Amino acid sequence: MSIEIETPTNRKSTTREGSVDRVLDGMAELCVLVAGIMLVVLIATFGWLVFGRYVLNNTPTWVEQTSLVLVVYITCLGAAAGVRYHSHLNIDFVRESFPPFLRGLLHHISDLFILVFGGFMAAQGWKLVMTNMERAIPMIGLSESWRAAPLVICGVLIMLFAGADIVQRLLSRNAERA
Q: How many residues does the chain have?
A: 178
pTM: 0.82
Per DSSP, the three-state class of 11 is coil
CA distance 79 to 137: 24
Digit-by-digit pLDDT tens for the chain (178 residues) are 444 455 554 554 434 468 889 999 999 999 999 999 999 999 999 999 999 999 998 988 899 999 999 999 999 999 999 999 988 877 777 888 888 888 888 888 888 999 999 999 999 999 999 999 999 998 899 999 999 999 999 999 999 999 998 898 888 877 766 5
**Helices 145-177 + 100-131 axis angle, to 10:** 160
Task: Mention every residue, 6+ apart, whose C-beta is less than 8 A from residue 68.
Answer: 147
137: DSSP letter:
P
pLDDT tens, 96-116? 888 888 888 888 888 899 999
> Which residues, in sequence order, are CB contacts of 128 under 8 Å at separation 6+?
144, 145, 148, 151
